[in-house]
Amino acid sequence: MTYRTEHDSMGEVLVPADRYWGAQTQRSCLNFRIGVGIETMPPEIIHAFGVLKQAAARANHRLLPAKMTEEKRSVIETAASEVAAGALDGHFPLVVWQTGSGTQSNMNANEVIANRANELAGEKCCHPNDDVNMSQSSNDTFPTAMHIAAVLGLEKQLIPAAETLIRELKRLEAENTDVVKSGRTHLQDAVPIGFSQEISGWRSSVERDVQMLKLALEPLRELALGGTAVGTGLNAPEGFDRLAAEEISRITGTRFVPAENKFHALTSRDELVFAHGAVKALAADMMKIANDVRWLASGPRCGLGEIRIPENEPGSSIMPGKVNPTQCEQVTMVAVQVMGNDAAVGIAASQGNFELNVFLPVLAYNFLQSVRLLSESILSFTQNCAAGIRADRERMKQNLHNSLMLVTALNPYIGYENAAKTAKLAYQENISLKEACVRLGFLTEERFDEVFHPETMI
């Protein structure tokens, strides 16, 4: 491998000749050999840096044209747009486990964009700090990148994935409006329920989660950019925050605004805690839905067996013909990961001191992993499981008519205590509710038939 010499305020450093990064990035590579190649800075953060550096160059050109000339703006913006598009991902090697402010990743972006801009210009006209980082600090850019990445992840990944599942559940609901089955509470038989009603509970849960995610988006639209080092805006021209937010909105196609209080924006991460709470709520509901599906599909002969789900792959290396509810299992594992991430997000957000929180990379890593995993998990479950759910109507009917809790329909006619006696006798003697009720003398056969209609109990 060949190297070139780069320098920073601490001296000279050898950097791989084919990489755009500079001395500060290289120092981080040398000093933080923790999770190298595995737990690197999330690509969503890198791409968000590309967006905000484009926006900053545009804002600086309008406010400080003598310093941010048209020539500099043009090449910086082109280089930053390549970062935003993911074209330069190979030039961002830094791990999550670095400085807690994310300074080294901000400098990674500054160095890559400056060197690529100089290459585009054909001359060394852009400096990482003086030009690419103009009017900025790592302390306001990293929180800004986190909010940009969070908003785009929720808007473009997680919410659309959840809405895809909602549409599939609506279809399944409409397909099963005439199906009545046994309800279950405490994993025990309960009164009847329509299968479409059961599905509507799943659908409504996901719809409510989407509502909460959309509510959580609003605080995330506020950006710290313009606060610079401690929130005072030192070295940033007046109006920079507003113009930069407008440009970020224009580039991303979604709304962002300057944070009203930059001191809060630099030190508090409550918006991300709130948003991840909504992500966790969706994960919790997905856990419940997936568990319901695999319980209902259990069997095929010794379980509930009330629904059929797609048979996607063999389920055992020793038991021929076995098929498992693997899509339900991946959903529940992802849900557990999201719940664990929520603890990390909350703890990291609680650790602000004075004018800065220095747990930003780990917070970003966990938040964005949750969004990415849950989005992909829901799409996989929708396509490979929910879309293929089929009701076993005969099994549902059999289970319904075998349920002792149908005795609840007799309460208005024979009273709670007599109904309980009827159910207990039927269970003890393994006879029908009708036989038990008649034997106990509570109703005649004719009257029982008049009042006992399980399908009308929903």
Model confidence pLDDT, tens digit, residues 386-443: 999 999 999 999 999 999 999 999 999 999 999 999 999 999 999 999 999 999 999 9
Is 241 within a domain? no
Confidence at residue 399, expressed as pLDDT on a 0 to 100 scale: 95
Residues noted as catalytic: 186, 316
Confidence at residue 208, expressed as pLDDT on a 0 to 100 scale: 98
Query: Could you tell me if 264 and 286 lie in one domain?
Result: yes
Mean pLDDT of the residues in the chain: 97
Is 358 within a domain? yes
Query: Could you tell me if 267 and 412 lie in one domain?
Result: no
Query: Could you tell me if 445 and 381 lie in one domain?
Result: no
Query: Could you tell me if 91 and 13 lie in one domain?
Result: yes
Domain-terminating residue out of 366, 389, 412: 389
Is 237 within a domain? no
Query: Could you tell me if 376 and 424 lie in one domain?
Result: no
Is 168 within a domain? yes
Residue 365 CA to residue 101 CA, distance in Å, equals 13
Q: What does 197-212 look like in DSSP terms, one character per residue? A: HHHHHHHHHHHHHHHH
Is 255 within a domain? no
pTM above 0.85, yes or no: yes
Confidence at residue 73, expressed as pLDDT on a 0 to 100 scale: 98
Residue 21 CA to residue 17 CA, distance in Å, equals 9
Residue 270 CA to residue 218 CA, distance in Å, equals 12
Which domain CATH number covers 418? Answer: 1.10.40.30
Query: Could you tell me if 199 and 329 lie in one domain?
Result: yes
Number of domains in the chain: 3
The domain containing residue 439 runs over which residues? 403-456
Query: Could you tell me if 323 and 207 lie in one domain?
Result: yes
Query: Could you tell me if 336 and 415 lie in one domain?
Result: no
Is 240 within a domain? no
Query: Could you tell me if 24 and 155 lie in one domain?
Result: no
Query: Could you tell me if 296 and 415 lie in one domain?
Result: no
Q: Are 278 and 211 in contact (CB under 8 A)?
A: no
Is 382 within a domain? yes
Query: Could you tell me if 125 and 194 lie in one domain?
Result: no
Closest CA to 240 of 226, 254, 251: 226
Confidence at residue 187, expressed as pLDDT on a 0 to 100 scale: 96
Query: Could you tell me if 272 and 305 lie in one domain?
Result: yes
Which domain CATH number covers 314? Answer: 1.20.200.10
pLDDT per position as a tens digit, 63-78: 999 999 999 999 999 9
Q: What percent of the chain has pLDDT over 90?
A: 99
